[in-house]
Homo-oligomer: A and B are copies of this chain.
Amino acid sequence: MRMTIDPMGAPPGTLDMMILSLLVEEPLHGYLLARRIEERSGGVLGIEEGSLYPALQRLRKRKVVSDEWLTQESGRKIRVYSITRAGRKELVQTAGQWRTVNAAVEKIIQSIKGERSVRLT
């Protein structure tokens, strides 16, 4: 199953959260971020560029990421994003919220059987 995160996908704000999460590991530019989300999700999630770039603008304005234009060896310019201190804080918070809500929803739909998928510890 391959899907974008909007039409019965993930909540608004999930994209922001995922971006921040990936940036904790290392600074990345937009295009690579999209690739990473795709591979890390096992190919389940696909992020449209029309979602991604506006998201990065939001994050920048909110000061949870900083950006820097770099020129890679090839000569091509890329815009590299890093997570800020405020970003880390926001991330922990929203991730907590996200999990709380998920757990709550799962309580309600738990009787519905379907592919079993989430298993955390």
Report whether B102 and A117 are in contact in the complex, using a CB–CB cutoff of 8 Å.
Answer: yes
Which of B24, B99, B108 is the one whose CB lies under 8 Å from A114?
B99
When C-beta atoms are compared, the residue in chain B nearest to A92 turns out to be B114
Inside 8 A of A97's CB, which chain B residues have their CB? 1, 3, 8-9
Known A-B contacts A13-B7, A24-B111; A118 and B102 likewise in contact (beta carbons under 8 Å): yes
Q: Is A56's CB within 8 Å of the partner chain B?
A: no
* Distance in angstroms between the alpha carbons of A17 and B11 in the assembled complex: 14
Q: Which of A1-53 contact B (CB under 8 A)?
A: 1, 3, 5-14, 17-18, 21-22, 24-25, 37, 40-42, 44-45
Report whether B95 and A114 are in contact in the complex, using a CB–CB cutoff of 8 Å.
Answer: yes
How large, as a class, is the contact surface on chain A?
35 or more
- Smallest CB–CB gap between A58 and chain B, Å? 13
Inside 8 A of A108's CB, which chain B residues have their CB? 18, 21-22, 37, 40-41, 45
* Distance in angstroms between the alpha carbons of A1 and B101 in the assembled complex: 9
Interface residues of A (CB under 8 A from B): 1, 3, 5-14, 17-18, 21-22, 24-25, 37, 40-42, 44-45, 91-121
